[in-house]
Structure 1
């Protein structure tokens, strides 16, 4: 029987990264995947959704050019061709992952795995042992058990990205990141989008000051947002609520995800609600078996899962890695404008925290680009320690990295205020927002 140093179950962003890191650290590694490598993120999640958002962003750029004087007579959407491009990009990324795995000399097993408490792994007719196991089986879309749901025809994020025709109408149930991103992906291309969110507000895990900006942009794009109601039942193509009946032609449930814990249940691992319990190094209640990503607590984000996988491997190797600080994990929303955040939000900070906000209309580069919806925000101690930060604007998910780098490196807003940023750039507002903590901002 073959014996590996590590068996990784699941080849998503957490699993394949952990496997490659382990192999490059000298371990003999087996990687098991029952579907495609890349997991939900690459196949039915963040990558295809961001590709579609780029398509819609391009349409908005063309329309903005018309407002500036660069006239485009008509915008014709060849949706099947756009989806072909989506498929091509995804296929190239998956090919890259396969190549990286092969180059790392990892043994790949295709099929559904079962794992015993003594770390014996079975994949169809193959059986092998592993000194350590990482469970990285991800999550699946959650559809609420509404009365009458069995009468409805609907999409989830696992099925939606296979569409080949641009929907004339789309009703999205949900108000979180996935729901709002999908509204932004379809509406600019001509789909009449309705978002039904029973809560009082959207994006409730994100920066509160960003929500009015996003809702204003949704209104500009013709997205109908309905909030603060109770779902009652679904009757065919009708959604009955406490405030009325909503008919739909195409229905998408974007109501969160639930961890795939079937393999954990067979192992009788200690659970923490729906999640697998782990210690700070992602080791489960069975020594030698680890769990990462959507299976455990923390942010359900691809980059978080990758970091957890690397951490778990380093812990196995006895490197005593520093516990991952949730305050140092960036959170991104790829709407137009984007939202990027890390650390504490304003309402989570100590009462003596200093909060500064620099609005983009005062930034020359943002103004000349026409990207003035948004701001940069620091939440800091009176001494300048960075509690958290947020950028709302075009390119926010890239700009947040400079602010986060300062925090991770042990720096403060003083260090960012001392930096000489190139002019004109939108990122120079980072330095000004940092100076604002001490009342020395130029453009405020």
Structure 2
């Protein structure tokens, strides 16, 4: 069987690449060992956001009295919450399957591994092996939970993010190891569902990849909601006792023990490259990732790679954009993904979102800076919604006035960041933003207000 393009991995990057190639007239085979949609659709972004919405409804009911509404009570039907989540996942997966069929893309179930620059061997679930040849091969195998290597990490009740999304009942005490995006999102969700939540982080602050002001303020808000957060702690071991599990740590307060019914490990991800047969096919691998050039070509002509396997920001929309760009490069179409314009979103309580350089990153690069910040306490829409905790911060070049970064904490942050992403991608200046009329009353006005407050740092 000979194809124009053979894709290994049916997540956002692989599917986007397959659809773009088919749209350009290529014959495409897509190989996926599990379900189409990858981690994002099946074990990550989408199921988490479905649970987040249920948690958000609970929070709204908790705060109903602030809006002059009295409730006699409510009850969490967790099986119904999980059923709703599954329905959404299945609907989206079905839609993806239909798009691939309509595009004439052949989908093969199995584990794909490289034989040479034009050949992939696919081992089917029942054990049979099929060889598929292609003019180009694209590696988009994604990543999985890195897990923990500390003693006790294999105990029953120590769950990965994949595991906890399938949990049958709400744990009374949940200890989350890792205060990155996934850990912080699930902390808010399970606190709303009724768990007593503790978050443990080895680094000095939560959300270490985001602007420091976001991490500092969000930590305060989460603690006010009853979530315990301990930073700068090393995980020593997990052990079982008569009351359940406990996590033992060492940190600035000395040794501490945190009891738990369930422990969630959310301390990072590792790329899925072990089964790709890279060395035998001659594809270079450095620091557990596949290095690529600006067109996403690997060290072997005809073999490309995108998404989590190449490192960088492990986000679904990053992989999607890279998959499209890689295929366009194959066809000689100029394509690029501006790494500095990749937005990041955190569905916490409050939401956080960011794009571009943080204030610290810009300072480290010796860029003369203008920084403007606008608190949501002064935003009319935020006040009417009872969502006035947070701010919008803009970082700009003091000489060119170009917007270098936008950082948001507050309600609708994950929607507001789209405007910031456009500003960074299109290299808009403060003056460009000032010329755009903002509707009133909206959260979006905060972007303009932050720009108007730009000052030298």
CA distance in 2, matches of 1:32, 1:167: 37
1:288 equivalenced with 2:299 (yes/no): no
1:111 equivalenced with 2:123 (yes/no): no
Q: Which moved more, 1:200-209 or 1:213-222?
A: 213-222
Q: Which moved more, 1:329-338 or 1:146-155?
A: 146-155
Provide the secondary structure at the position in 2 that maps to 1:372.
coil
1:265, CA displacement in angstroms?
Answer: 4.5
Q: Residue 76 of structure 1 corresponds to which residue in structure 2?
A: 75
C-alpha spacing 1:148/1:433, structure 2 compared with 1 (3 Å):
closer
Mapped contact 1:418–1:431 kept (Cα < 8 A): no
In the superposition, the TM-score normalised over structure 1's length comes to 0.95
Provide the secondary structure at the position in 2 that maps to 1:278.
coil
1:227, CA displacement in angstroms?
Answer: 2.1
Structure 1 vs Structure 2 CA RMSD: 1.5
CA distance in 2, matches of 1:403, 1:147: 44
Provide the secondary structure at the position in 2 that maps to 1:230.
strand
Q: Residue 126 of structure 2 corresponds to which residue in structure 1?
A: none
1:429 equivalenced with 2:449 (yes/no): no
Structure 1 unaligned spans of 5+: 440-444
1:223 equivalenced with 2:227 (yes/no): yes
CA distance in 1, matches of 2:429, 2:444: 17
Mapped contact 2:33–2:109 kept (Cα < 8 A): yes
CA distance in 1, matches of 2:134, 2:159: 38
CA distance in 2, matches of 1:248, 1:194: 9
Any idea what the Cα deviations from partners look like across 1:140-195, whole Å, max 9, x if unmatched?
10112113434453110122111121222211111111111100111012111111
C-alpha spacing 1:62/1:430, structure 2 compared with 1 (3 Å):
same
Mapped contact 1:343–1:389 kept (Cα < 8 A): yes
Out of 376, 398, 401, the position equivalent to 2:392 is: 376
Equivalent residue pairs, number: 437
CA distance in 2, matches of 1:151, 1:164: 18
CA distance in 2, matches of 1:238, 1:407: 45
Q: Residue 442 of structure 1 corresponds to which residue in structure 2?
A: none
Provide the secondary structure at the position in 1 that maps to 2:159.
coil
1:288, CA displacement in angstroms?
Answer: 0.7
Q: Residue 16 of structure 2 corresponds to which residue in structure 1?
A: 17
Mapped contact 1:152–1:234 kept (Cα < 8 A): no
Out of 395, 418, 424, the position equivalent to 1:407 is: 424
Out of 178, 182, 185, the position equivalent to 1:178 is: 182
Any idea what the Cα deviations from partners look like across 1:327-346, whole Å, max 9, x if unmatched?
11111111121111111100
Mapped contact 1:188–1:221 kept (Cα < 8 A): no
CA distance in 2, matches of 1:111, 1:14: 18
1:233, CA displacement in angstroms?
Answer: 2.2
Mapped contact 1:384–1:437 kept (Cα < 8 A): no
1:339 equivalenced with 2:352 (yes/no): yes
Within 5 Å, give how 1:52-67 maps onto structure 2.
52-67=51-66
Q: Which runs of 4+ in 1 moved over 6 A?
A: none
Q: Residue 327 of structure 1 corresponds to which residue in structure 2?
A: 340
In the superposition, the TM-score normalised over structure 2's length comes to 0.92
1:267, CA displacement in angstroms?
Answer: 2.9
Q: Residue 318 of structure 1 corresponds to which residue in structure 2?
A: 332
Structure 2 unaligned spans of 5+: 124-128
Any idea what the Cα deviations from partners look like across 1:122-150, whole Å, max 9, x if unmatched?
22333221000111111110112113434
CA distance in 2, matches of 1:268, 1:306: 26
C-alpha spacing 1:211/1:407, structure 2 compared with 1 (3 Å):
closer
Mapped contact 2:17–2:327 kept (Cα < 8 A): yes
Within 5 Å, give how 1:268-287 maps onto structure 2.
268-287=282-301
Q: Residue 34 of structure 2 corresponds to which residue in structure 1?
A: 35
Provide the secondary structure at the position in 2 that maps to 1:335.
coil
